[in-house]
Amino acid sequence: MSKLTGKVALVTGGSRGIGAAIAKRLAADGATLAITYAKDASAASAVVKAIELGGGKAVAIQADATNVEAVKGAVEKVVATFGRLDVLVNNAGTAIPKKFEEATLEELDRVIDINVRGVFIATQAALKHMKSGGRIIMIGSCIGERNMTPGFVPYSATKGAVKMFTQGLSREVGSRGITVNNVQPGPIDTDMNPVAGDSAVLQKAATALNRYGHVDEVAALVAFVAGPESSYITGANLTVDGGTNA
């Protein structure tokens, strides 16, 4: 038996980048997977196919994190399809890098809507179905605690909100046997933060390991937090950042 056999996990924004790696890793550990995506149906179905090829079970659901009904509907669909929900990974997120004073209200609203409001909505919907042993896992950011990179002020503020959301919620649901933790990646090479991007040199220099991280390095920590061995960890902010915040 694998560590997550019999468990059902939902990863928001699981069609690319860190979310896709998390979905594949949780499936490799035995979980049945649901992923959401906003736009790219073919990327989402490629993740589902990869999981199925590995002998796992998965489904992709279109649900923009800014759309309340779509997010609630995705959670209900997971439970209707697989009968339960054990692990929610709030991974969908966005950054709009620019100087704070140049950001429009629409841009500020979008970052808040996806990174904070979307997390609130998905978590509330998931908690209706979660039983003892449940796991709520946020994908925050190392810059939710310390910010050394100009251009990410609103993003950093939303990830700081995710940090405190994690800590507060852990105390509300702990008595139900549900843990709530925040995995905080450092610079990880994805479409959102490519190793060849504008601020990549700065971000790489800020790490102790002098390199970007790989999506699988984040997925490994999420798999641990989702699994049975993390049963006494809750309300924690766990960085996987190559030493950026050291």
Determine, following the binding rule CB under 6 A, whether residue 182 of this chain makes contact with ligand NDP: no
37 is catalytic: no
Quote the CA–CA distance of 33 and 23 in Å, as a whole number: 7
For residue 168, give the nearest of 213, 116, 231, 215 by alpha carbon: 116
How far is CA 228 from each of CA 35, 225, 235, rounded to the nearest angstrom?
22, 8, 16
Strand order across the beta sheet in which 179-185 lies: 58-62, 32-37, 8-11, 87-90, 135-139, 179-185, 237-240
Determine, following the binding rule CB under 6 A, whether residue 17 of this chain makes contact with ligand NDP: yes
CB of 102 to ligand NDP, least distance (A): 20
Determine, following the binding rule CB under 6 A, whether residue 108 of this chain makes contact with ligand NDP: no
Determine, following the binding rule CB under 6 A, whether residue 156 of this chain makes contact with ligand NDP: no
Q: Which is nearer to ligand NDP, 79 or 200 (CB)?
A: 200
Q: Is the dihedral of CA 2, 189, 90, 63 positive or negative?
A: negative
Q: Which is nearer to ligand NDP, 27 or 114 (CB)?
A: 114
Residue 54 half-sphere exposure, CB side, CA atoms within 13 Å? 19
Identify residue 67 by its one-letter amino acid code. N
Determine, following the binding rule CB under 6 A, whether residue 187 of this chain makes contact with ligand NDP: yes
| Catalytic position from the list 37, 155, 212, 232 | 155
Determine, following the binding rule CB under 6 A, whether residue 37 of this chain makes contact with ligand NDP: yes
Which residues are within 8 A (CB) of 199 and not within 5 positions of it... i.e. 6 or more apart? 97, 149, 150, 151
Stretch of residues binding ligand NDP (CB under 6 A), selected from 16-24, 81-89, 99-107, 123-131: 16-24
Residue 173: both structure tokens together: 């649901």
Q: Is 82 within 8 Å of 89 (Cβ atoms)?
A: no
Q: Which is nearer to ligand NDP, 113 or 133 (CB)?
A: 113
CB of 1 to ligand NDP, least distance (A): 30
The size of the interface with ligand NDP (CB under 6 A), counted in residues, is: 31
Binding-site string for ligand NDP from residue 61 to residue 100, where x marks contact by CB under 6 A and - marks none: ---xxx------------------------xxxx------
Q: Is 73 within 8 Å of 20 (Cβ atoms)?
A: no
CB of 62 to ligand NDP, least distance (A): 8
Determine, following the binding rule CB under 6 A, whether residue 15 of this chain makes contact with ligand NDP: yes
Quote the CA–CA distance of 45 and 62 in Å, as a whole number: 11
CB of 181 to ligand NDP, least distance (A): 15
Q: Which residues are tagged catalytic? A: 155
Positions in the binding site for ligand NDP (CB under 6 A): 12-19, 36-40, 43, 64-66, 91-94, 114, 139, 141, 185, 187-188, 190-193
